[in-house]
Amino acid sequence: MRKTIVAGNWKMNGTREANRELLSQLVAGVDVAQGVEVLVCPPAVYLDQATSLVKDTAIKVGAQNVSDQPKGAFTGEIALPMLQDLGCEYVLLGHSERRTLFAESDAQVADKFAAALDADIVPVLCVGETLEQREASQTLPVVAAQVAAVIDRVGISAMAQTVIAYEPVWAIGTGLTATPQQAQEVHAAIRAQLKKLDADVADSVSILYGGSMNAGNAAELLSEQDIDGGLVGGASLKAEDFLTICGAAAARLK
Ligand code: PEP
């Protein structure tokens, strides 16, 4: 059965002081008994600090990106064995900011996904359409192609227990949110795409929604059948808001 997950993507934000404060509030506020997997994804330079601060708590740590290469002459890159060394359990892959600002292709994302699986780090595959694509009624084919690029690379059985985040590009950091119905339609289509290949795998993949999720809209989004949690950017930097979203996710499990 799939997990309910709330992941905070801190993007390029944080200081050691601010991280300490935020994580201490999250450690105090996350209710383990609720059964939600709570994950924070700080910038790479703070991963070590974050894993130390959440050690022996229910909060997990993920990276925002990683190389598909294990080591060597790749100046500025970070390797999966380094994430393992720090105790990171997840990695975001193919975030729209990586795809658009850093020109990451479907093929590169698929290579990173495969490498993460080999390293026993759970990949969170981010997919989503631009506003132009939505307006041209291309949302479902665009998302299906992004998902298919990874399935073609790793095979359907390797998708079991991985995470997909549907993040409409037009909703990221804009304050615009997909309606629960718009999001559910895409989540259900992703689930159906997986199910056609393997029903058990389809049921084991957590599909998160991301795109201006906040304390005010989370409950409604998270009440949809195929929305298994959230990938939260801006609102993950405020402990109170992030904890409210975690609480909204917990309601799915009741
Ligand atoms: C994100 O960065 O993945 C994201 C969803 O950002 P925001 O919540 O700020 O839209």
Q: Report angle CA 173, 178, 180 to the nearest 5 degrees.
A: 135
177 is in which domain, residue-wise? 4-251
Q: Tell me the CA distances in angstroms from 169 to 14, 22, 178, 201, 242, one per residue in order.
A: 23, 27, 10, 26, 21
Name the CA dihedral angle for 25, 30, 31, 37, rounded to a multiple of 10 degrees: -170
Atom of ligand 1 nearest to the CA of 92: 3
Angle between helix 106-118 and 139-154 (nearest 10): 40
Atom of ligand 1 nearest to the CA of 174: 10
| pLDDT value, residue 146 | 98
Q: What CATH number does residue 246 fall under?
A: 3.20.20.70
CA distance 106 to 44: 22
Q: What is the pTM of this model?
A: 0.97
Q: Whose CA is nearest to atom 3 of ligand 1?
A: 233
Distance 213 CA to ligand 1 centre (A): 7
Atom of ligand 1 nearest to the CA of 165: 3
Provide the number of structural domains found in the chain.
1
Distance 215 CA to ligand 1 centre (A): 13
178: left (phi over 0), alpha (psi -120 to 50) or beta: beta
Residue 31 has pLDDT above 90, yes or no: no
Q: Whose CA is nearest to atom 8 of ligand 1?
A: 233
Residue 1 has pLDDT above 90, yes or no: no
What tens digit of pLDDT does each residue of 56-89 get? 999 999 999 999 999 999 999 999 999 999 999 9
